[in-house]
Amino acid sequence: MQLSFARRAALACVLSLGTATVFIPAAFAQSSGQPQRVRGTIESLSDTTLTVKSREGDSVAITLKPDYRIAGIAKASIADIKKGDFVGVASVPGSSGGNNAVEVLIFPAAMAGTGEGSYPWDLEPNSTMTNATVSNKVENADGRKLTLTYPAGEKTISLPENIPVVTFAKAGKADLKPGAAVFVPGEKASDGEISTSTVVVGNQGVVPPM
Protein backbone atom coordinates (compact mmCIF):
# COMPACT_ATOMS: atom_id res chain seq x y z
CA MET A 1 0.00 0.00 0.00
CA GLN A 2 1.36 3.42 -0.95
CA LEU A 3 1.53 5.89 1.93
CA SER A 4 0.03 9.35 1.55
CA PHE A 5 2.21 12.45 1.65
CA ALA A 6 0.91 13.22 5.13
CA ARG A 7 1.76 9.78 6.46
CA ARG A 8 5.19 9.76 4.82
CA ALA A 9 5.91 13.18 6.31
CA ALA A 10 4.94 11.99 9.77
CA LEU A 11 7.02 8.85 9.52
CA ALA A 12 10.01 10.84 8.30
CA CYS A 13 10.10 13.16 11.32
CA VAL A 14 12.77 11.30 13.30
CA LEU A 15 15.92 12.91 14.65
CA SER A 16 18.56 11.48 16.98
CA LEU A 17 20.45 14.02 19.09
CA GLY A 18 23.13 12.36 21.20
CA THR A 19 23.35 8.66 21.93
CA ALA A 20 20.15 8.12 23.88
CA THR A 21 17.77 10.98 23.15
CA VAL A 22 15.36 10.73 20.22
CA PHE A 23 13.05 13.54 19.20
CA ILE A 24 10.19 13.35 16.74
CA PRO A 25 9.44 16.96 15.80
CA ALA A 26 6.24 16.78 13.76
CA ALA A 27 6.34 20.49 13.12
CA PHE A 28 6.20 20.01 9.38
CA ALA A 29 4.04 16.91 9.13
CA GLN A 30 0.39 17.01 8.22
CA SER A 31 -1.60 15.18 10.92
CA SER A 32 -4.23 12.53 10.29
CA GLY A 33 -6.82 14.69 12.09
CA GLN A 34 -7.52 18.40 11.68
CA PRO A 35 -4.17 20.22 12.05
CA GLN A 36 -4.12 22.57 15.02
CA ARG A 37 -0.83 24.41 15.45
CA VAL A 38 -0.55 26.33 18.71
CA ARG A 39 2.00 29.11 19.19
CA GLY A 40 2.46 30.94 22.47
CA THR A 41 3.89 30.60 25.99
CA ILE A 42 3.43 27.90 28.59
CA GLU A 43 0.99 28.60 31.41
CA SER A 44 1.16 25.21 33.14
CA LEU A 45 2.16 21.58 32.70
CA SER A 46 0.78 18.39 34.22
CA ASP A 47 1.51 14.75 33.44
CA THR A 48 -1.06 14.73 30.66
CA THR A 49 -1.83 18.35 29.76
CA LEU A 50 0.11 21.36 28.54
CA THR A 51 -1.73 24.67 28.84
CA VAL A 52 -0.53 27.41 26.51
CA LYS A 53 -1.37 31.10 26.33
CA SER A 54 -1.71 31.31 22.57
CA ARG A 55 -0.61 34.21 20.41
CA GLU A 56 -4.31 34.91 19.89
CA GLY A 57 -4.65 35.50 23.63
CA ASP A 58 -6.70 32.49 24.75
CA SER A 59 -5.63 29.62 27.00
CA VAL A 60 -5.37 26.34 25.10
CA ALA A 61 -5.31 22.98 26.92
CA ILE A 62 -3.36 20.41 24.91
CA THR A 63 -3.45 16.71 25.73
CA LEU A 64 0.02 15.19 25.68
CA LYS A 65 0.05 11.79 24.04
CA PRO A 66 1.93 8.98 25.83
CA ASP A 67 5.69 9.21 25.21
CA TYR A 68 5.35 12.65 23.66
CA ARG A 69 8.60 14.17 22.42
CA ILE A 70 10.23 17.51 23.23
CA ALA A 71 12.52 19.36 20.83
CA GLY A 72 14.49 22.52 21.46
CA ILE A 73 15.42 25.36 19.15
CA ALA A 74 18.91 26.81 18.69
CA LYS A 75 19.86 29.99 16.86
CA ALA A 76 21.65 29.70 13.51
CA SER A 77 22.45 32.20 10.75
CA ILE A 78 22.08 32.67 7.03
CA ALA A 79 25.82 31.99 6.76
CA ASP A 80 25.14 28.47 8.09
CA ILE A 81 22.90 27.63 5.12
CA LYS A 82 24.88 25.72 2.49
CA LYS A 83 24.19 24.16 -0.86
CA GLY A 84 22.93 20.63 -0.29
CA ASP A 85 21.35 21.41 3.09
CA PHE A 86 17.78 20.32 3.71
CA VAL A 87 15.76 23.25 5.06
CA GLY A 88 12.23 24.29 5.93
CA VAL A 89 11.36 27.82 4.83
CA ALA A 90 8.14 29.63 5.64
CA SER A 91 7.52 32.33 3.06
CA VAL A 92 4.92 34.83 1.88
CA PRO A 93 4.32 36.38 -1.56
CA GLY A 94 6.49 39.43 -2.20
CA SER A 95 5.04 42.80 -3.17
CA SER A 96 6.88 42.70 -6.50
CA GLY A 97 6.41 39.00 -7.14
CA GLY A 98 8.38 36.02 -5.92
CA ASN A 99 8.48 34.83 -2.35
CA ASN A 100 10.03 36.34 0.78
CA ALA A 101 11.18 34.11 3.61
CA VAL A 102 9.66 34.63 7.05
CA GLU A 103 11.87 32.08 8.81
CA VAL A 104 14.32 29.31 7.99
CA LEU A 105 14.82 26.01 9.79
CA ILE A 106 18.04 24.14 8.95
CA PHE A 107 17.30 20.46 9.42
CA PRO A 108 20.10 18.28 10.81
CA ALA A 109 21.36 15.81 8.19
CA ALA A 110 19.50 12.94 9.89
CA MET A 111 16.19 14.65 9.08
CA ALA A 112 16.75 15.23 5.37
CA GLY A 113 13.49 14.54 3.53
CA THR A 114 11.20 15.47 6.42
CA GLY A 115 7.82 16.62 5.06
CA GLU A 116 9.42 17.28 1.68
CA GLY A 117 7.36 19.55 -0.56
CA SER A 118 5.62 22.94 -0.51
CA TYR A 119 2.21 23.40 1.10
CA PRO A 120 0.01 26.00 2.85
CA TRP A 121 1.11 27.11 6.31
CA ASP A 122 -0.55 29.25 8.97
CA LEU A 123 2.34 31.27 10.36
CA GLU A 124 1.11 34.38 8.53
CA PRO A 125 -1.70 35.05 6.05
CA ASN A 126 -0.97 33.44 2.67
CA SER A 127 2.19 31.79 3.97
CA THR A 128 3.55 28.49 2.71
CA MET A 129 6.06 26.00 4.10
CA THR A 130 8.66 24.60 1.72
CA ASN A 131 10.80 21.71 2.92
CA ALA A 132 13.44 21.09 0.31
CA THR A 133 17.11 20.85 -0.58
CA VAL A 134 19.13 24.01 -1.18
CA SER A 135 20.26 23.68 -4.80
CA ASN A 136 21.64 27.22 -5.05
CA LYS A 137 22.44 30.13 -2.76
CA VAL A 138 23.03 33.57 -4.27
CA GLU A 139 24.22 36.73 -2.55
CA ASN A 140 24.64 39.81 -4.74
CA ALA A 141 23.53 43.40 -5.14
CA ASP A 142 19.95 42.23 -5.60
CA GLY A 143 19.95 40.53 -2.22
CA ARG A 144 20.16 36.97 -0.98
CA LYS A 145 18.16 34.16 -2.47
CA LEU A 146 17.80 30.42 -2.00
CA THR A 147 16.70 28.04 -4.72
CA LEU A 148 14.94 25.09 -3.11
CA THR A 149 14.40 21.83 -4.99
CA TYR A 150 11.89 19.11 -4.16
CA PRO A 151 10.34 16.26 -6.20
CA ALA A 152 7.42 18.33 -7.52
CA GLY A 153 9.55 21.29 -8.61
CA GLU A 154 11.61 24.16 -7.24
CA LYS A 155 11.09 27.53 -5.59
CA THR A 156 13.32 30.60 -5.34
CA ILE A 157 12.92 32.51 -2.09
CA SER A 158 14.42 35.85 -1.09
CA LEU A 159 15.98 36.17 2.37
CA PRO A 160 15.22 39.55 3.97
CA GLU A 161 17.57 40.98 6.57
CA ASN A 162 17.27 39.73 10.13
CA ILE A 163 14.85 36.86 9.49
CA PRO A 164 15.09 34.14 12.15
CA VAL A 165 17.25 31.16 11.20
CA VAL A 166 17.20 28.19 13.57
CA THR A 167 17.92 24.49 13.91
CA PHE A 168 16.69 21.79 16.29
CA ALA A 169 18.42 21.19 19.63
CA LYS A 170 18.10 18.97 22.67
CA ALA A 171 15.36 19.68 25.19
CA GLY A 172 13.59 17.92 28.03
CA LYS A 173 10.61 18.16 30.35
CA ALA A 174 12.54 20.54 32.61
CA ASP A 175 12.46 23.07 29.74
CA LEU A 176 8.66 23.19 29.73
CA LYS A 177 8.46 25.98 32.28
CA PRO A 178 5.77 28.64 32.64
CA GLY A 179 6.62 31.52 30.32
CA ALA A 180 8.65 29.38 27.89
CA ALA A 181 7.82 30.00 24.23
CA VAL A 182 6.48 26.94 22.42
CA PHE A 183 5.23 25.75 19.06
CA VAL A 184 2.90 22.77 19.35
CA PRO A 185 1.92 20.93 16.16
CA GLY A 186 -1.23 19.07 17.17
CA GLU A 187 -4.50 17.77 15.87
CA LYS A 188 -8.07 18.60 16.81
CA ALA A 189 -10.61 15.83 17.32
CA SER A 190 -14.30 16.08 16.47
CA ASP A 191 -15.07 16.76 20.14
CA GLY A 192 -12.70 19.75 20.13
CA GLU A 193 -9.89 18.11 22.08
CA ILE A 194 -6.42 19.13 20.93
CA SER A 195 -3.65 16.57 21.33
CA THR A 196 -0.01 16.36 20.33
CA SER A 197 2.96 14.02 20.27
CA THR A 198 5.49 16.86 19.99
CA VAL A 199 6.32 20.09 21.76
CA VAL A 200 8.94 22.46 20.31
CA VAL A 201 10.26 24.76 23.01
CA GLY A 202 12.53 27.80 22.86
CA ASN A 203 14.89 26.50 25.51
CA GLN A 204 17.92 28.53 24.43
CA GLY A 205 16.37 31.97 24.48
CA VAL A 206 15.00 31.54 20.96
CA VAL A 207 11.29 31.74 20.23
CA PRO A 208 10.30 28.91 17.85
CA PRO A 209 9.71 30.95 14.69
CA MET A 210 7.72 28.36 12.77
Domain residue ranges of the chain, discontinuous segments joined by +: 5-74+167-201, 76-162
Output the pLDDT for position 195: 97
Instruction: Flag whether pLDDT at 11 surpasses 70.
Output: no
Using one digit for the tens of pLDDT, what is the confidence trace for 119-151? 999 999 999 999 999 999 998 767 899 999 999
Output the pLDDT for position 141: 63
CATH architecture of residue range(s) 5-74+167-201: Beta Barrel (2.40)
Output the pLDDT for position 70: 96
- pLDDT tier, 38 (very low <50, low <70, confident <90, very high otherwise): very high
Lowest-pLDDT choice from 4-13, 47-56, 196-205: 4-13
- pLDDT tier, 161 (very low <50, low <70, confident <90, very high otherwise): confident
Output the pLDDT for position 72: 96
- pLDDT tier, 36 (very low <50, low <70, confident <90, very high otherwise): very high
Q: What is the mean pLDDT of residues 2-9?
A: 37
Instruction: Flag whether pLDDT at 12 surpasses 50.
Output: no
Output the pLDDT for position 32: 58
Using one digit for the tens of pLDDT, what is the confidence trace for 74-89? 999 999 999 999 999 9
Average pLDDT value over all residues in the chain: 86
Strand partners, 199: 70
